[in-house]
Structures are given as C-alpha cells and as structure tokens.
Structure 1
C-alpha cells in the first residue's frame, strides 16, 4: 500500500480536510455519528447504541486500522474545525489481476450540497490509482439515494447493474444499484479496438 499515511491526506471544499483515520478520532467520530444518527439511519445498517459512543468508535476504528495495516482497506475521516464531518472507506481491497476495492462514504448533514462528497470521492479515487495502484472501484447505493448516485456519476462512475437484497440497511435486506469506476484506461491489444 503506502508507507506514508500523510500522502493520503488532502483539502476539500468548505474548509474540510481529509486524512487517514486515527484511534484518537474515536470521540469526535462518535459525536458525529450521534449528531447525524437520524440523517444516516435510512442509508446504514441498524446500529447498537454503543456504536454512537467514543468506546464503540474506538473498537470500530481499531478494526479499520487493522484492515489498513493488512492492506485490505483504507479508512479516511473528514474534519472541519476539529469536528468529524464524514468518512470515506475503501474496503475489500483485492490485489493480483483484480486490483479492485469497494467505496463507502457519508457526509455530515450540515455539509451536504457543498461539493464535499464529490471532492472527497475524487481525492480517494486519485489515491486509489496513484498511491494504491488500484484499477477498479465499485460502489453501491440504494435505488432511491439520488444524492449519492449524483456524486458517483459526477465522479465518473458508471452504473453496472442492480443487486437484489444486497445489504441489510435500515432493518431490511435492500436492493442496491451497483456502480464502477475504472481508474486506468483500457489496455489496447489484439482484438481490443
């Protein structure tokens, strides 16, 4: 992956900074999830009450940092004025001929509509290509999540299908629209254009 987590940091619109998640972010991330609980509820799994605490986030962060150390995931946090205002995660990183990962993200309700999500996705895609050497990123949204679909389309993702009963969200198995973004131009070879 990368030996320098600071190389994966950057600046976004609205005074937001993005960097790799740290265990010391537990309190601010717990507060952000508490603040956005109703905002995120339709788009996320049902969470246990401890998820919204600093200790619950500390445990969550340790798991994500374990994936980062193993090279199977990259967790970012978005910060504004010392507050957590969102997160981006590349998960399920697969090397070899696949060179692929899955993208997940959320943005604080107070930062919606300010270009933060689109800029953060662009930042993560650039890091996935340049620093991580990935070829393909996949994302999934609920069919009625028009805002997230707009962010993905603006970021060059193409819709590739519908996955029935894909994730257990808001207490039910729900269909998801699948998107992908190819990060490198296709290789020209025999029979390929």
Structure 2
C-alpha cells in the first residue's frame, strides 16, 4: 500500500514536528549529547561512537533507508532548528498484524509541556491515516510512570507485563506493554 507523504505540525509552544531529513545529523548529535545522562536509564547501552558525527550520520542513514523501505517512519521535534525530541514508528508489519511500535523521547529541558503526548498522537494519526495500520504498540519500563501517563492520555491500554523484555541501561529490564487499536476494518 502506498503511504501518504509525511506531514508537519506545530505541537505546542511553537515546537514543530517534521520528518527526519538527511541534514539532521548535527542537530541530532547535539540533542543526544545534551540529553545523554537524562536518557541513559531509558535506552539501550550506547557506545562512544553513537555520540559522534559519524555515528549519528550512519544511524540517520540507516533510519532513512528503513523509511524509504516502509519499515520505519520518524520525525524530529524542533524548537527553531534545535532538535528537542524524536518520535518513531518502527517494526512496521503488514498483513494480518498491520502494526508498528511507537518510540519517543523529549529533551529534558522541554518536559511537562505535553510534547510527548502531542507527538504520540501525531504518530498514531499518521499510522492510521498515512499507513493504514490497525494498531500501534509501545512499551515502558515498569517504573516509567510519566511515559505510562502519556500513553494512557493517547488512548493506549495495557496489554501486559513482559519480564526481561529489553536490554536497557546495561541489564534486561521488565516492561509494561501497551497498544492502541486504530481501526477495526480489514488490513489495508
């Protein structure tokens, strides 16, 4: 199924969401370096290469390739030209599952403004209207109550807990899994 083109929007406080672009390498590097300690408890171990221009260029190139193949769609949240977060639909599966995984993070200095909720809603709308997906899944660490509140506000419901689900911050961590059903029609 062909997808609709990515869209852009203003989320809140003048923060825009727009598709990932080839020129985002430096801004993404700056954002990840700025938020390195803040994001560490929520992310997989990142080697030093991740925090270099070359590392971010390779990562972005891989993401854009996956996007062209229809396996991933990603956006950046920007304040002017400064990246202050990302949202991604990944592991897109067609056929009878017709699903994707949602991931997001917001810059430590931009929390509490409703940006994560707005970005998650934006991605879910694109998953439904642009991709024709049936559902979106997301997972949080059990103690990440802020992210769980974001998902609840966006219409996600808990589908269960997964012991030792992902290797995060150096160890296998338990996660709470959520889903949002987008439509009840047949796979598109």
TM-score (norm 2): 0.95
- Structure 2: runs of 5 or more not aligned: none
Aligned to 1:161: 160
Deviations 1:135-164 (A, max 9, x none): 100000000001100000000000000111
- Structure 1: runs of 5 or more not aligned: 188-193
Aligned to 2:52: 53
Aligned to 2:82: 83
SS in 2 for 1:117: helix
Aligned to 2:114: 115
Post-superposition offset of 1:55: 1.7
Aligned to 2:171: 172
Larger gyration radius, structure 1 or structure 2: 1
Post-superposition offset of 1:167: 0.5
Aligned to 1:24: 23
4+ runs deviating over 3 angstroms: none
Aligned to 1:149: 148
Contact 1:162/1:178 (<8 A) preserved: yes
Aligned to 2:136: 137
TM-score (norm 1): 0.92
Give matches, 1:92-103, under 5 Å.
Answer: 92-103=91-102
- Tell me the distance in 2 between the aligned counterparts of 1:157 and 1:45: 24
Contact 2:16/2:77 (<8 A) preserved: yes
SS in 1 for 2:17: strand
